Chains A and B, each alone.
Chain A
Amino acid sequence: GAGVSQTPSNKVTEKGKYVELRCDPISGHTALYWYRQSLGQGPEFLIYFQGTGAADDSGLPNDRFFAVRPEGSVSTLKIQRTERGDSAVYLCASSLGENTGELFFGEGSRLTVL
């Protein structure tokens, strides 16, 4: 498809487990973003990639969260030792270049930690 693709759409896991969430951006988009959205709130910035490098990871809440984009396209958000407070919708977005607020979001991966 032409849009941002995120998998899985739903993930239920147990406290303490490891989780990977995948994002496939729009072809040709060099910038990729991860946001987290809790129920009733706006998206919260996590990390931004320009190409393969993380240009801004200031939104990652702690060192249990890590993201990679090894070839400058697909990105994986990794969460270690999940906690119940990690439950949220994790949104990925991409944009054609930098310095634009026109992000193209995927439908998100809903993570539930039991």
Chain B
Amino acid sequence: GESVGLHLPTLSVQEGDNSIINCAYSNSASDYFIWYKQESGKGPQFIIDIRSNMDKRQGQRVTVLLNKTVKHLSLQIAATQPGDSAVYFCAETPPGGYNKLIFGAGTRLAVHP
């Protein structure tokens, strides 16, 4: 079937390298942020979240950084693997609206052996 994100910005990395995917969010009042991964033909998959009272949060092989001053979010993936190849979306929630995610446009991550 068709791939999600045929015209998205693409980040190409070598297997084993670290990846950094960036996201600029729109609402300075947003206080909860989430990263999702979407493989071709599948629904988005939750990776990690962070609330605005934190500036860093770590998971397994992933780290999310939040800079509220410049409304910037990043996802760092350590030792990138071929299975990490996908489209990555950041999402924000409006204040008090945690059940309504506002997704960004996405970045395609291509991992080369």
Contact = CB atoms under 8 A, between A and B. Distances in A.
Contact of A98 (B32, B99, B105): B99
B32 A101 contact: yes
Contacts of B43: 4, 91, 93, 105-108
Contact of B93 (A93, A101, A107): A101
Interface in B1-23: 1-2, 4-8
A45 B89 CA distance: 14
A42 B105 CA distance: 5
Contact of B45 (A31, A55, A105): A105
A44 interface: yes
A89 to B, nearest CB: 8
Interface residues of B, number: 30
A59 B41 contact: no
A33 B99 contact: yes
Interface string A84-114: 0000010101000011111111111010000
A59 B100 contact: yes
Given A4-B43, A101-B32, A37 B4 contact: yes
A47 B109 CA distance: 29
A36 to B, nearest CB: 11
A106 B8 CA distance: 22
Given A45-B101, A56-B99, A40 B46 contact: no
A20 B106 CA distance: 28
Contacts of A45: 100-102
Given A33-B99, A99-B99, A110-B1, A41 B105 contact: yes
Contacts of A102: 34, 46, 49
9 contacts: A4-B43, A39-B5, A40-B7, A56-B97, A58-B100, A98-B99, A102-B46, A105-B43, A107-B42
**The 4 A-B residue pairs with the shortest CB-CB distance in the complex, in nearest-first order:** A105-B43, A42-B103, A101-B34, A99-B98
